[in-house]
Structure formats: C-alpha cells, structure tokens
Chains A and B, each alone.
Chain A
Amino acid sequence: MNNGLKVLLAAAAIGSLSLSGCASTMQYGDAGSAKPISTEFGSSDLQQIAEAMVDSLLVFPPMVELTSARRPVVSVDRVKNKTMQHIDTESITDSIRAKLLRSGKFRFIDRTTDAQTIEELKTQQDSGLVDKKSAVQFGQQIGAEFLLTSNFSEIRQKEGSTTDVYYKFTMSLKNLKTGILEWSDEKEIRKVFNRGTFGG
C-alpha cells in the first residue's frame, strides 16, 4: 500500500489508543450535578424542588412576621404521589424538613417514629430500670400547629421521537387550628428527550 495510507493508518492507531472508552471506570460523582440522565424523576429534580419550596416558605412575608416572634411547630404530611412512577417522596419531604429546621425558623414533630417513642416511654415508666425522677411522662409532648401537605403530579407527552415530561410539586402550609392555608407554592420542572436520528 502507498505511503500516504500507511501514515494515515498509523495516525488512526495512535489516536485510538488515546480514546479511553475501552476500559471501565469507577469514580465518585458530584452529588449536586444537574445532568439529566432520563426523563424519569432524578436527584437533581429532588434538590431543585426542596430548595425552591424552602426558599419560598422562608421569605413569604406573613411567615417572616410569624417566625420573627417565635418558632412554630410543624408536622409534615406524606406527599400525594399522583405520578405513574414509583418515587420515594419521603426523601423530598425529609430534605425540605431538614433545610427548614436548620434555618432555625421552624420546629418539627415526626409522626413516623411514634411507635418507637411509645415503646421507649413504656420502658422508662414500667420496666423499673429508669429512675422515676428522670423518666419521661406520657402526655407532655407539644402538639403541631401547622401541617405541611404536598401533591406531586406529572404530565407526560410523547410524539414521534420527542418525549416531554412536566412535573409539578405543590406544597401548602395548613393552620391546624383555623384550617386556613397560610402558604402555598409550586415548583415546575420540564424534562425533554429527543431521540437522535441514528438511534439511542
């Protein structure tokens, strides 16, 4: 074969060595990365929703006024997942609750650990192991004043090679005494997938 072709083949060989796609790699990724992998609900969507809801609640003027005087007690309700995906919605409310707690403006009660609490208090009261003076009595817990409720829905559209998924997360703060919704906000996310001409 002629020399020009030889040079080209040599260059291709050297070039292919520099392409590292042959070996498998394992590394830590960035937990805050916003690179969408699919139109399914992802970690970046969870982070965006949590931050948007917390930011909105913290700066809402009636809430600013209420939290300037004291820290209201809030209970977090389960998210009504109206999407067709199986999503761990408790992790969304966990993130929101953690951020709101760390802001120092709110206090929270957690109903999911009630069974363990009752068992612990029963042991303190009845087992005879715990000093009566330091044992915690039943009926002293503080009741929640507010309830944080949320809905999560999606609208999925598919046409030809385009898949478009729209997510909407709505959250509201309900005053348990008056029944009034003191605050409500929503976060919308859209993820679009266009299938390329050459597959994948």
Chain B
Amino acid sequence: MKQKKNFVIGGIAAAALIASLALAGCSTTAGVEATGRTSWDEQGARILEKNVVFNSSGLKGDIQIVDVKSAMAGDIMRAQATLRSKDRDTLPFQYRFEWYDAGGIEINSGAGSWKPLILYGRETKTIQAVAPDPRAKEFKLKIREPD
C-alpha cells in the first residue's frame, strides 16, 4: 500500500515538474492587426476602409481597438488608432505601423521598428504614425505583447 502511494505522489510531482519546464519557454507574441486603406467614393471624397484581426485570444481580452482614423498632411498620409485597455492592470505592449502604396506593395519593407506602449488600467490612448512618403495609401498597425 505504502509503495503504491509513493508511486502516486512521485508521479504527480513528476508531471508537475515536466509541465512547469514545458511552460517556461511558452510565451507567444502573436497580436492584433488593424488595417486602413484609402479609397475614394463617387464624389471624390476620401474614405478609409478599416479591418481589425485578432491573432491572439489573450490580447483580445486585454485590448480593444476603439477607432482607426486617417488624415492627410499635405500629400502625406497620417494614421491614428485609439486603443482601450480592458484590463485593470498596467499592461505593456509594442506596436508598429507598416505602409503600402496604391498597388498594395509595402513601402520600406522590413525597415519598421517596434515601439513600446504602456496602457494603464482601462486607459484609452491614441497612437499615431506618419507615412514615409506620399505614395502610401494603406497602412497596417500591428500590436503585440513585448518579447
């Protein structure tokens, strides 16, 4: 009897040990992608087609993309996204903007860098970016948890 009990205790401890070792390297930085594309309606006015994709369910519960806007500064496009933290705690994120021209080709491919962002509990914050040059007609905002 005592031998069997020791087996069980040993087995549970072993399982816990293996599980904790497996989880140690287990952090994902999948995130959220929000895209905005400029197009023009019949009257020639500029409109923004928006789309938001959540790649991580954890992030979906933490962050909400309230709004995505864009404006022109001369002939250069500006983008702004309003983010809201759904969590009570202070959360660190990283974000980056990528820009595409009218044909969907990325401008300055691979040159963007991640920028740090801190959202306090239930805070609403805006992040902005300016296109690298006047060719940009579409942007993609990526948000992820820090690596």
Cβ-defined partner of B74 (8 Å) among A14, A16, A18, A68? A68
C-beta contact mask, B1-41 vs A, less than 8 Å → 1, else 0? 00101111111011101100110100000000000000000
The reply to whether B130 and A55 form a contact with Cβ atoms under 8 Å apart is yes
Cβ-defined partner of A14 (8 Å) among B6, B18, B94, B116? B18
Instruction: Tell me the complex Cα distance, A40–B75, Å.
Output: 38
Which of the four size classes fits the interface of chain B?
A: 35 or more
The reply to whether A8 and B18 form a contact with Cβ atoms under 8 Å apart is no
Q: Is the interface of B mostly helix, strand, loop or mixed?
A: mixed
Residues A58 and B76 in contact in the complex (CB < 8 Å), given A32-B113, A47-B113: yes
Instruction: Tell me the complex Cα distance, A15–B3, Å.
Output: 24
Smallest CB gap from A59: residue in B: B73
The reply to whether B21 and A103 form a contact with Cβ atoms under 8 Å apart is no
Cβ-defined partner of B21 (8 Å) among A2, A18, A54, A61? A18
Which of the four size classes fits the interface of chain A?
A: 35 or more
The reply to whether A3 and B10 form a contact with Cβ atoms under 8 Å apart is yes
The reply to whether B9 and A4 form a contact with Cβ atoms under 8 Å apart is yes
CB of B42 within 8 Å of the partner chain:
no
CB of A11 within 8 Å of the partner chain:
yes
Instruction: Tell me the complex Cα distance, A200–B128, Å.
Output: 36
Chain B hits for A33, CB < 8 A: 113-114, 147
Chain A hits for B108, CB < 8 A: 102
C-beta contact mask, B55-98 vs A, less than 8 Å → 1, else 0? 00000000000000000011110100000000000000010100
Smallest CB gap from B111: residue in A: A32
The reply to whether B96 and A11 form a contact with Cβ atoms under 8 Å apart is no
Instruction: Tell me the complex Cα distance, A4–B6, Å.
Output: 5
Residues A11 and B14 in contact in the complex (CB < 8 Å), given A32-B114, A34-B116, A35-B147: yes
The reply to whether B96 and A2 form a contact with Cβ atoms under 8 Å apart is no
